[in-house]
Structure 1
């Protein structure tokens, strides 16, 4: 039993994506938030911005570091989680509920290159060795 939601896909940069039709929700994984430590600030793109697969779309600032966020698939930002402006620590307490952005997917082919929950769990285990 994996600790990562099976219906999500994952990147090697530790973002998750959940696709529902042509819309995708994106956030950071449990592993990412543990590596970061206490999240204190999140910078996310404006609604309407188009971001290509693999490009950065924002940053997460923690007490330890500032990390860039990378797009698992390309698309146009249609919604941003405004709750994170006032409560960025939600990423620590609820990494799979506290999504960051929702996009209209334009690069569906990129989904094939993402990791399943099992593949991601093995990847994280190999990184920890």
Structure 2
């Protein structure tokens, strides 16, 4: 399992892309996707919603459990991945590509986001 170097990671196992025009993409890590098992339902925030770093903003339901989805940053949702809503298995099959969850215009970014190497050490992934 390889965590892309260009991303930053939260201790809740979300990843965050670098901001383009102040907007970053958010998803869950491969480690989290594997721990969840087969994802069968995704509840995401809606476009225009405000999210707060470290707080829940949705849910991921798998064949094993229901897990909260946390936002790694504070900001406003600008886009949700409808492909994942329609085909939740993308979270498992392509967590760093087609399985992204939402895009957020960042208003505040916590200082405790991890680099890929730090996340790998933290998660044992």
TM-score by length of structure 1 reads 0.91
Distance (whole Å) between structure 1 residues aligned to residue 84 and residue 90 of structure 2: 7
Structure 1 residue 4: deviation in Å? Answer: 0.2
Structure 1 residue 37: deviation in Å? Answer: 0.3
State the match for 1:10 in structure 2.
9
State the match for 2:107 in structure 1.
106
Aligned-partner SS, 1:20: coil
State the match for 1:65 in structure 2.
65
**Gapped regions of structure 1 (runs ≥ 5):** none
Q: Which string of whole-angstrom CA distances, capped at 9 and with x for unpartnered residues, describes residues 19-76 of structure 1?
A: 2231110000000000000000000011000011111110000000000011111000
Coordinate RMSD, CA, aligned: 1.3
Q: Specify the structure having the higher radius of gyration (Cα).
A: 1
Distance (whole Å) between structure 2 residues aligned to residue 63 and residue 103 of structure 1: 28
Could you list the runs of 4 or more consecutive aligned residues of structure 1 that deviate by over 6 angstroms after TM superposition?
none
Residues matched between the structures, number: 123
Distance (whole Å) between structure 1 residues aligned to residue 19 and residue 4 of structure 2: 14
